[in-house]
Structure 1
Amino acid sequence: MKQRLLAAALGWSAVLMPCAQAQTVAELQRQIDELKAMIKAQAESGRGTRATAVRTAGRTDAGTRPAAGRPVTSAVGAPAVTRAAHADRPAFVIDRPETWIDALLPPAPQPLVDGPGSGGRPKTWFERLSLRGYTQMRVNETFSGDTTAPAGRSRLRSVHDGGVTDRGNFTFRRVRLVLQGDIHDRVFIYLQPDFAVNVANQAGTEGRGNFAQLRDAFADVFLDDERRTKLRFGQQKVPYGWENLQSSQNRLTLDRSDAINSALPGERDIGITAYYTPWHVQGIWDRLAKDGQKLFGNYGAFGVGIYNGQTLNRAERNDDLMVAGMVTWPFALDGLGEVFKGQVLEVGASAYRNRFQPEIRTGGVSPRAFDDSRVGLHAILYPQPFGLQAEWNWGRGPEYDVVSRMIAEKPLSGGYVQAMFRVDHSVVGPFMPYARWQTYDGGWKVATNAPRLETDEVEVGIEFQPIKPIEVTLAYARMKRREADERRFGQAEGHLFRGQLQVNY
């Protein structure tokens, strides 16, 4: 209160000063200096009191510390106000009224600063967590092909995109929200639902779309201060296949390949994974990320885990665990000469062993657990500007046998080869044309009766980004596919135009 009264007195003195004829300018200046000295003393006294209060608050939990331990660095702290920040503010000048307000106002309060040993305010829950996501809207148009067929013959359909039909127009492929953040120095959480899931048999045989379904719900526990080693608990991606681990938000092609994704449709399961990443490997990935490359996500240079084995959002059916592992290693090719400067080649392998029980058409789940095991290889030459990407896998899995009319264990194989070219600057923004060929012969275990797929497909397309939040992909595909239905035979063929608008937020 005293400070406010003194400031008001100084203001009135400055305003009435031209009217006070009896006083000299020197006397007025002396009075002003005395008032400024008193205001400064009051301000310093107030700051001392506030500093004492802050130090006292820093020694108590006050319900704001993370449940597991000490405060962590704030992500939303206000910038510190320093004397240098106001070095360009004009000093009080008697004949310049525009400088009076700065002299009358008290100094701005110093914000609380988080940091190790600072005794400052720990982060609140909303400062530790972030929310992001993306939406994909698609349109599929068949130029020609077997969009319809009589009973017993395959129609042109895709196991990845329900919008590929004889009546499909606009669909939501994905509507994702991600809640993530560090709740402790050594604990990271990740939660992701999808709001574009289709549910069948809602009105007879008619389905309904755009239901919410859990995709990811896991916690990472870091075993060292450098976060090179971690354990991941919960529903998560299984470390098998480079493209399977790559987010659909980053992937260049519209869908994953049949051969790799057939191992783990939905890519996820409930379990525990251990990941380890050496520093120099992380350094290469960080450089690629800074350059804008489409990485697979940091799932570790080495990853191994155990899972239920029935894939995404399906109840466990046996007491056997799925074991999966992957190793991937990037090599910087700068030492091969000037032409390879900045180039990175990443190679690796993955494998899993599992026992799987498919759904059967007579109802329920097969009482028999079938051998479901694979091994795969991958290689990626990151586009700078030209790139190549390829994966292949072999194994055994459940597949419907048309002769015995029963599910049996059968061999499978397939993969893809993809070429792409990256242009960072153009009148339409960055863009990347690509071409991919894929093939697969084997069972699709998550469909009823584990039908056999026979896929042979060529796709060419282009992705461009006119503005940062928007990505547009246009693609043409020549498809030859066997429908994922054991009651239909042969391959359907067709020529499709496909478009996707992705909004990142």
Structure 2
Amino acid sequence: MKRRLLTALLLSSALVLPCAQAQAQTVAELQRQINELKALIKAQSEAQGRGGRGPLRQANARNTDAGTFPAAGRPKESAIGQPAAPGPVPHRFAIDEPETWYDALVPPAPQLLADGPNHSARPKTWFERLSLRGYTQLRGNEFLSGDDTAPSGVSRLRSVHDSGITDRNNFTFRRVRLVLQGDIHERVFLYIQPDFAVGVGDRQHFTQLRDAYADVFLDDERRTKLRFGQQKVPYGWENLQSSQNRLTLDRSDAINSGVPGERDIGITFYYTPAHVQRIWDRLAKGGQKLFGNYGALGVGIYNGQTINRVEGNNDLMTVMMATWPFELDGLGEAFKGQVVEVGGSAYRNRFRPEATFGSSTALGNTFDDERVGVHAMLYPQPFGLQGEWNWGRGPEFDPVARAILTKPLQGGYVQAMYKVDHSPVGPFMPYIRWQTYDGGWKVGTNAPRLDTDELELGVEFQPIKSVELTLAYANMKRREASSSRFGRAEGDLFRGQLQINY
């Protein structure tokens, strides 16, 4: 207030003194004018206190420059749903309106930024809506017996899912992943996931992009969405289930051979009815290992060459999947809380496998690649069953013709498990799975044939929430994924995996 009076006094003196000389005003007259000016300023201040525009503007999320300046790490756009801050309004100055003098002559006081640490009601900026999580899997494999080595041209016991199954390896990182995710808008969800444990030849721990997509929701309830980018292809229930949640150590050959790596670049439409989401939410709250919300219905188009591979033709892979959970409470007290889920998936594709031409390898011809599959599961409460099967045709190396041909394929798995929620060692879940597959491995050089029969028994422990330990025994009969090795190898393995969730 003192600054206001001083400013007014100086200004009034500059305006009044020349007139006093011209009109020979007395000192008393000048004092009277000053008193009137003080009274006018006091009255104006009291009016502002009753609801007028105060001398200092209070900062809030709508009248500050938060989110409009790229400096100091702030984004160029404001928080979600926040309109851009209005531009400055030029101050008006009128000699006969003293209330305009102060704002015109004195710079405004600094405002509190809406994204400042002391602002209690500030909206979240886009980077605060993102979260970072991940998991690491340390795996060990030990041959108990079998064909860990073999002469040239004869299959050794190997798996397309675990490069650690060799005669030399002990411990390996199966996965080291970080997930950056969050809502960057009320209707836009972002998901990015790299893996830091990818092997290339005899070298390990390279970084590879796994997921990079955005979900755009078409309704306020988020029941319908479009997913754009590199993402999981909705074929096979087990393929969609995250490795972080899956009970068994690896996916089955029969289902995963349809989309090895589970991912491709494309666009997917997903729809989930409210009552289906309610069932899945209840199961997740009860600790069930779900496949992730990929919708009760999914339809998509993709390049068709699988994950991180350059598109090989001008054809698109088209995929469709539907899955539906049913509550069994109506069957009686014994079935209260039980849920059965059934569904199916299919795809049509034209695939170009890598082929050997003399001493070089390049993309070969294009082959038909088509499948249809079914799945069903009784969620373990406490006993559960799970199974999938698929049929189709795809590229496969023919050792007689010494060429890649389109051949029929089929296979699947059956799994049983039992869920124990409370024990002296924490929650644990024993399981047994049998799998079989006879068909090509299209992403291998020359699309070699796989001929798999495997029985796996294991148990997963979770002594604390951040730690999961899986111990398993496997009896394997496998053809090595190589067009230059023939026959089937056999063996018994002890396998262990420690997973750290963070």
Scaled to the shorter chain, the TM-score interval is 0.7 to 0.9
Confirm or deny that 1:147 pairs with 2:148.
Answer: yes
Work out the CA distance in 2 between the residues paired with 1:491 and 1:293: 36
Deviations along 1:125-150, one digit per CA (max 9) or x if unpaired, are 33110000000000000000001111
8 Å contact kept, 2:67–2:77: no
2:301 to 302, 306, 310: 306
Q: Normalising by structure 1, report the TM-score.
A: 0.79
The answer for the alignment partner of 2:18 in structure 1 is: none
Work out the CA distance in 1 between the residues paired with 2:129 and 2:363: 45
The answer for the alignment partner of 1:126 in structure 2 is: 127
Counterpart amino acid of residue 162 in structure 1? S
Counterpart amino acid of residue 290 in structure 1? K
Q: Normalising by structure 2, report the TM-score.
A: 0.79
The answer for the alignment partner of 2:190 in structure 1 is: 189
Deviations along 1:201-254, one digit per CA (max 9) or x if unpaired, are xxxxxx100100000000000001111000000000000000000000000000
Confirm or deny that 1:473 pairs with 2:470.
Answer: yes
The answer for the alignment partner of 2:59 in structure 1 is: 54
1:66 Cα deviation from its structure 2 partner: 8.0
Work out the CA distance in 1 between the residues paired with 2:277 and 2:56: 41
The answer for the alignment partner of 2:408 in structure 1 is: 411
Counterpart amino acid of residue 462 in structure 2? Q
Work out the CA distance in 2 between the residues paired with 1:265 and 1:367: 18
**Gap regions ≥5 residues in structure 2:** 1-48, 69-73, 83-116
Q: 1:172 to 1:388 in 2, by over 3 A?
A: same
Counterpart amino acid of residue 62 in structure 1? A
The answer for the alignment partner of 1:224 in structure 2 is: 219
Counterpart amino acid of residue 430 in structure 1? P
8 Å contact kept, 1:68–1:184: no
The answer for the alignment partner of 2:101 in structure 1 is: none
Counterpart amino acid of residue 178 in structure 1? V
Q: 1:382 to 1:52 in 2, by over 3 A?
A: farther
The answer for the alignment partner of 2:139 in structure 1 is: 138
Q: What pairs up with 1:303-452 in 2 under 5 angstroms? A: 303-362=298-357, 363-452=360-449
Q: 1:130 to 1:352 in 2, by over 3 A?
A: same
Confirm or deny that 1:487 pairs with 2:484.
Answer: yes
Q: 1:69 to 1:302 in 2, by over 3 A?
A: farther
Count how many residue pairs are aligned between Structure 1 and Structure 2.
Answer: 412
Counterpart amino acid of residue 67 in structure 2? G
1:361 Cα deviation from its structure 2 partner: 2.1
2:497 to 478, 490, 500: 500
SS of alignment partner, residue 365 of structure 1: strand
1:71 to 67, 70, 80: 80
Work out the CA distance in 2 between the residues paired with 1:410 and 1:279: 42
2:250 to 255, 264, 274: 255
Q: Which moved more, 1:143-152 or 1:363-372?
A: 363-372
SS of alignment partner, residue 133 of structure 1: strand
1:50 Cα deviation from its structure 2 partner: 12
The answer for the alignment partner of 1:277 in structure 2 is: 272
8 Å contact kept, 2:354–2:364: no
Deviations along 1:146-171, one digit per CA (max 9) or x if unpaired, are 01111111100000000001111000
8 Å contact kept, 1:72–1:122: no
SS of alignment partner, residue 361 of structure 1: strand
SS of alignment partner, residue 59 of structure 2: helix
1:268 to 263, 266, 269: 263
The answer for the alignment partner of 1:215 in structure 2 is: 210
SS of alignment partner, residue 62 of structure 1: coil
The answer for the alignment partner of 2:166 in structure 1 is: 165
Q: 1:69 to 1:375 in 2, by over 3 A?
A: farther
Counterpart amino acid of residue 66 in structure 2? A
| Cα RMSD after superposing both structures | 2.2
1:67 Cα deviation from its structure 2 partner: 7.2
Deviations along 1:410-432, one digit per CA (max 9) or x if unpaired, are 00000000000000001110000
Q: 1:279 to 1:51 in 2, by over 3 A?
A: farther
8 Å contact kept, 1:71–1:121: no
Work out the CA distance in 2 between the residues paired with 1:72 and 1:492: 60
8 Å contact kept, 2:312–2:363: no
Confirm or deny that 1:459 pairs with 2:418.
Answer: no
Counterpart amino acid of residue 484 in structure 1? A
Work out the CA distance in 1 between the residues paired with 2:493 and 2:118: 59
The answer for the alignment partner of 1:199 in structure 2 is: 200
The answer for the alignment partner of 1:295 in structure 2 is: 290
Q: 1:67 to 1:285 in 2, by over 3 A?
A: farther
Work out the CA distance in 1 between the residues paired with 2:281 and 2:76: 31
Work out the CA distance in 2 between the residues paired with 1:69 and 1:221: 20
Counterpart amino acid of residue 132 in structure 2? L
SS of alignment partner, residue 360 of structure 1: strand
SS of alignment partner, residue 227 of structure 1: coil
Percent of aligned pairs sharing the same letter: 75
8 Å contact kept, 1:257–1:415: yes
Q: 1:67 to 1:418 in 2, by over 3 A?
A: farther
SS of alignment partner, residue 54 of structure 1: coil
1:446 Cα deviation from its structure 2 partner: 0.3
The answer for the alignment partner of 1:18 in structure 2 is: none
Q: 1:476 to 1:186 in 2, by over 3 A?
A: same
1:72 Cα deviation from its structure 2 partner: 5.8
SS of alignment partner, residue 58 of structure 1: coil
Work out the CA distance in 2 between the residues paired with 1:49 and 1:490: 88
Work out the CA distance in 1 between the residues paired with 2:80 and 2:311: 39
Q: 1:112 to 1:163 in 2, by over 3 A?
A: same
Mark the structure with the bigger radius of gyration. Answer: 2
SS of alignment partner, residue 282 of structure 1: helix
Confirm or deny that 1:233 pairs with 2:238.
Answer: no
8 Å contact kept, 2:78–2:125: no
8 Å contact kept, 1:58–1:121: no
1:367 Cα deviation from its structure 2 partner: 3.7
SS of alignment partner, residue 173 of structure 1: strand
1:503 Cα deviation from its structure 2 partner: 0.1
Deviations along 1:308-365, one digit per CA (max 9) or x if unpaired, are 0000000001000000010000001111111111100000000000000001122343
8 Å contact kept, 1:219–1:232: yes
1:112 Cα deviation from its structure 2 partner: 4.8
Counterpart amino acid of residue 489 in structure 1? F
1:70 Cα deviation from its structure 2 partner: 6.4
